[in-house]
Amino acid sequence: MEVCDKYSLCWLAGALRRGWIPRVPRPTLVGLSCERMDDNVHAYITPMPFAMHLASRYIQNVYMPLFDFHIAVSRYVSSELTSDGHAMGDRIKVRPMGVQIENLGPHRRDPELRARLQKESGGNGSTALLLYAGRLSPEKNLSLLVDLMQNLPKLAKSKPPADLSGASHDCRLLIAGSGSLEDWLRKQNHRLGGRLRLLGRLDNRAELARLLASVDVFVHPNPREPFGIGPLEAMASGTPLVAPGAGGVLEYADPRCAWLAAPEGNAFAGAVLEVLSNPAAARAKAERARLVAERHDWPVVAEQFFATYEVFHAARLAPRAT
């Protein structure tokens, strides 16, 4: 039995391990970590060091013993499970998540959609379109998107024309998603002269695929991302990715297939301008990114997960040396 929860459902694993539920056979218990508790505490409660310490003690002394084994979606997430010198050895495996490759790709590019979005965002046919797709919630570090859009015009003006080689100085940021920070982003849009366009939540996967393939750059601002399916979907779509050089995105993103930058506005603006000013490098990285994404196709990922379950189950049932 796999449980992906650190707060409530994890106690079910403890009850099963103790045999407290009558007539339910004792299963092999696997805790799936898709996020870090310390990051959630930092984003939603307080960043104080004492709170981080309490989160760590809870993970090590309460959550982890509830399960026989653990799977983390990235090395960044797994590092929370192995902190404080607790060595778990073969009891922890890193298994990245996946994307539906067949539904994504450069062939989904839609020139009519692109032209409409350029017009609706107040631009024209030469306007560069940036995209963020994901939850609009505190842990996503969305303030970096605002800093990016503030820094882009200033940085473009400071660069010699030769350094930009035809890159559009007019950039608009499309934001697809919903969440508690939606109203805050609308207020920031007034400060940015209307250069943000909130698209709301996109439930239609075909529409999202067309959007991903029709923009110039996908920007992902969160340096504490547990894994990041959105950036991986952008890579599968052949769209250049700008992301922080930290967190779970490093399971698939590196300088060969993405632009990694420090999570601050000027660095992100520089990375975006680099993408826009060098189409040949952008195409080359995007092609490599697509190959990386293909290795994370869901059938491949699912097979890896089931193989790990079989190893875990066999290990639990194997007789122990006395």
Mean pLDDT, 10 residues at a time, the chain of 322 residues: 95 93 94 96 94 94 95 96 66 95 95 97 94 96 97 84 64 97 95 94 94 98 97 98 98 97 97 95 96 96 97 89 47
> The tokens of 259 are what?
């632009």
Domain boundaries, the chain: 2-98+298-317, 101-294
**Residue type at 3?**
V
- What is the C-alpha to C-alpha distance for residues 166 and 158, in angstroms, rounded to an integer? 15
What backbone torsions phi and psi does residue 61 show, to the nearest 5 degrees? -105, -15
Count the alpha carbons within 13 Å of 267 in the hemisphere toward its beta carbon: 13
CA distances from 237 to 93, 227, 232 (A): 28, 18, 9
CA-closest candidate to residue 279, choices 166, 147, 153, 181: 166
pLDDT of amino acid 160 = 64
CA 166 to chain centre: 30
Query: Is the C-alpha dihedral spanning 298, 300, 301, 303 positive or negative?
Result: positive
Query: In the beta sheet, which residues pair with residue 243?
Result: 260
Contact between 293 and 209 (Cβ < 8 Å): no
3-class secondary structure, 231: helix
Strands of the sheet containing 259-261, edge to edge, are 196-200, 171-176, 128-133, 217-219, 241-244, 259-261
pLDDT of amino acid 161 = 61
- The class level of CATH for 101-294 reads alpha beta
What backbone torsions phi and psi does residue 200 show, to the nearest 5 degrees? 75, -175
Q: What is the DSSP letter of 61?
A: I
- What is the C-alpha to C-alpha distance for residues 42 and 136, in angstroms, rounded to an integer? 16
Contacts of 260 (CB under 8 A, 6+ apart): 243, 244, 245, 253, 254, 271
Count the alpha carbons within 13 Å of 105 in the hemisphere toward its beta carbon: 8
**Residue type at 281?**
A
C-alpha angle with apex 244: 243 to 250, nearest 5 degrees? Answer: 85
Contact between 52 and 41 (Cβ < 8 Å): yes
Whole-prediction pTM value?
Answer: 0.93
- What is the C-alpha to C-alpha distance for residues 287 and 270, in angstroms, rounded to an integer? 22
> The tokens of 33 are what?
């970590």
Q: What is the DSSP letter of 63?
A: I
Q: What kind and span of H or E run contains 243?
A: strand 241-244
In our burial notation (b when 16+ CB lie closer than 10 A, e otherwise), range 194-210 reads ebbbbbeebeeeeebbb
